[in-house]
């Protein structure tokens, strides 16, 4: 009989019991798998929907558990809803459901964390501590397991270990740091030294604590804690130092803000000095106002063009302002804040020249208190037309409780009405401030 080239065909005879089983069994298994998958999906969906349905949410969650008894999420959701409706029975149910979620998913730190919190709420502090420690073991780099454990330990009176955990939580999530300080402030009743010892394990945290104290208006303590940092640490933590400086400026604490600014300035950078104008002769480039808060803040645009110029009274440069204002100008964007002594008499002077200045309201230099912006003294308006360098000077006295003044360039009310053009060029140079009877120099 010759060989056939056709493919072999396997024939299963369905008349035998084994044959019928081979056909039916895969179908049955597929249906069972589909049934359990559908049950799990339906149970999970019901459990998730229960959180958004206030009316009857617990019953929906219980239905979800019945449909998906092996789903840890369903048990967690039921536990969370039971815990939300606080009562002895509901707390017992919450603990039971969290335990089941942990049993079904023992490597999920979230379920251990929820179990720990529920155990503490139900009065089982030992069990709560064990559960929260397990959550920390499973997620050592996450912030909230350590945050919850630290809070529990603090309530148990284990303050040293508590703040160690809280410090690690804040290191993982910087937004928790102010809350750690809040806890420490309450626990130690505002004892700054004790808070520093227990809750500030590093230079970076001490810098943040100084910023926190400034926010509480504890300015002396803030500067004292900031001063415990080495100069190297202060410079490496310049971002925190800059926030501290700005917080002090916002609180009108100009002298200590100047100190912080000097502390964080790079080694080769010129530092602002109290009772002196920074770059008063405009021999250095203009610094950005956000970099140095005690330097010139000067804006420039199409109508008011400000820049350093080679024309000078002394030295090599001055500030030139070109006015091209055909209608109205209320603010001239030139100012500097200077740290001063409270209740002190000062003498101010600078030099100015003009070229083709044409206006009914020429610029005026004004010294104001930096805390309340109230004027202390001012100059006469500049002469119009073209004029060579001439001195501008006046005296003023600082207020008893203020340590900062601000120099601004303003325009008095216009003699020709609300529409008051100003055209021409003005130069300023050699800004100088000195105590009456003493002297300091411009920088």
What 3-state class would DSSP assign to 369? Answer: strand
- Torsion over CA of 199, 202, 204 and 209, rounded to 10 degrees? 30
Q: Are strands 345-359 and 422-435 parallel, antiparallel or unpaired?
A: antiparallel
Distance of CA 295 to the CA centre of its chain: 24
User: How many angstroms separate the CA atoms of 149 and 117, rounded?
Assistant: 9
Question: What CA–CA distance (Å, rounded) separates 58 from 176?
Answer: 32
How far apart, in whole angstroms, are the C-alpha atoms of residue 41 and residue 34? 10
Q: List the structure tokens of 118.
A: 């529920």
pLDDT at 48: 54
Location of structure tokens 């009176």: 157
pLDDT value at residue 369:
98
Distance from C-alpha of 78 to C-alpha of 72, rounded to nearest angstrom: 10
Q: In the block, which residue shows the tokens 């808060």?
A: 293
Q: Which residue from 328, 301, 317, 277 is spatially nearest to 432, judged by alpha carbons?
A: 277
What's residue 343's pLDDT?
A: 95
How far is Cα 245 from Cα 108, in angstroms, rounded to an integer?
43
CA atoms of 29 and 8, how far apart (whole Å): 28
3-state DSSP assignment of residue 411: coil
- Whether this model's pTM surpasses 0.85: no
Cβ partners under 8 Å of residue 62, min gap 6: 78
Joined together, the tokens standing for residue 431 give 């800004």
Domain architecture of the chain: domains with CATH: 25-264 (1.25.40.10), 297-435 (2.60.120.260)
Does residue 134 sit in helix, strand or coil? helix
pLDDT values of the chain reduced to their tens digit, one per residue, 443 residues: 444 454 555 555 555 565 455 444 555 445 444 444 444 444 445 445 445 445 457 777 777 777 777 788 888 888 888 887 766 678 898 999 999 999 999 999 999 999 999 999 999 999 999 999 999 999 999 999 999 999 999 999 999 999 999 999 999 999 999 999 999 999 999 999 999 999 999 999 999 999 999 999 999 999 999 999 999 999 999 999 999 999 999 999 999 999 999 999 988 787 899 999 999 999 999 876 555 689 999 998 899 999 999 999 999 999 999 999 998 887 899 999 999 999 999 999 999 999 999 999 999 999 999 999 999 999 999 999 999 999 999 999 999 999 999 999 999 888 777 889 999 999 999 999 999 864 444 44
Quote the CA–CA distance of 247 and 243 in Å, as a whole number.
6
91-98 contacts: CB < 8 A, separation 24 or more?
Answer: 91/118, 91/121, 91/122, 92/122, 94/118, 94/122, 95/119, 95/122, 95/124, 97/65
- Dihedral sign, Cα of residue 419, residue 424, residue 429, residue 434: negative
Residue 376's pLDDT is 98
Confidence (pLDDT) at 218: 98
CA atoms within 13 A on the CB side of 109: 17
Dist. CA 156–CA 367, nearest whole Å: 58
Question: Could you tell me which residues are beta bridge partners of residue 354?
Answer: 387, 426
Tokens of 205: 């945290």
């Amino acid at each position: 009989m010759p060989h056939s080239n056709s493919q072999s065909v396997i024939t299963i005879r369905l008349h035998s019991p084994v044959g019928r089983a081979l056909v039916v069994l895969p179908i049955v298994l597929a249906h069972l798998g589909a049934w359990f998958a559908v049950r799990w999906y339906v149970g999970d969906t019901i459990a998730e929907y229960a959180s958004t349905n206030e009316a009857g949410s617990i019953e929906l969650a219980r239905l979800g558990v019945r449909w998906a008894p092996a789903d840890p999420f369903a048990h967690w959701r039921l536990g969370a809803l039971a815990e939300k409706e606080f009562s002895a029975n509901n707390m017992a149910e919450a603990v039971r459901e969290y335990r089941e979620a942990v049993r079904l998913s023992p490597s999920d730190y979230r379920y251990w964390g929820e179990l720990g919190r529920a155990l503490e709420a139900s009065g089982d502090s030992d069990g709560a501590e064990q559960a929260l420690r397990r959550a920390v073991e499973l997620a050592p780099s996450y912030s909230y397991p350590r945050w919850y454990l630290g809070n529990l330990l603090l309530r148990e009176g284990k303050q040293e270990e508590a703040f160690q955990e809280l410090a690690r939580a804040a290191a993982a999530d910087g937004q928790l740091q102010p809350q750690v300080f809040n806890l420490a402030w309450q626990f130690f009743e505002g004892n700054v030294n004790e808070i520093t010892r227990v809750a500030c394990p590093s230079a970076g945290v001490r810098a943040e604590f100084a910023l926190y104290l400034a926010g509480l208006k504890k300015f002396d303590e803030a500067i004292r804690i900031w001063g415990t940092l080495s100069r190297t640490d202060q410079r490496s933590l310049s971002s925190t130092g800059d926030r501290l400086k700005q917080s002090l400026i916002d609180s009108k604490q100009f002298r200590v803000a100047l100190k912080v600014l000097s502390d964080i300035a790079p080694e080769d950078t010129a530092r602002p000095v109290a009772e002196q104008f920074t770059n008063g002769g405009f021999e250095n480039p203009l610094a950005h106002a956000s970099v140095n808060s005690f330097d010139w803040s000067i804006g420039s645009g199409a109508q008011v063009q400000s820049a350093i110029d080679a024309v000078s009274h002394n030295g090599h440069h001055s500030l030139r302002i070109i006015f091209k204002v055909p209608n109205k100008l209320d603010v001239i964007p030139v100012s500097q804040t200077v740290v001063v002594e409270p209740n002190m008499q000062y003498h101010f002077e600078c030099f100015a020249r003009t070229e083709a200045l044409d206006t009914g309201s020429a610029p005026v230099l004004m010294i104001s208190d930096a805390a309340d912006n109230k004027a202390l003294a001012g100059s006469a308006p500049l002469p119009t037309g073209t004029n060579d360098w001439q001195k501008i000077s006046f005296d003023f006295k600082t207020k008893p409780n203020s340590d900062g003044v601000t120099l601004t360039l303003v325009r008095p009310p216009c003699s020709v009405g609300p529409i008051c053009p100003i055209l021409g060029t003005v130069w300023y140079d050699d800004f100088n401030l000195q105590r009456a009877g003493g002297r300091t120099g411009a920088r």
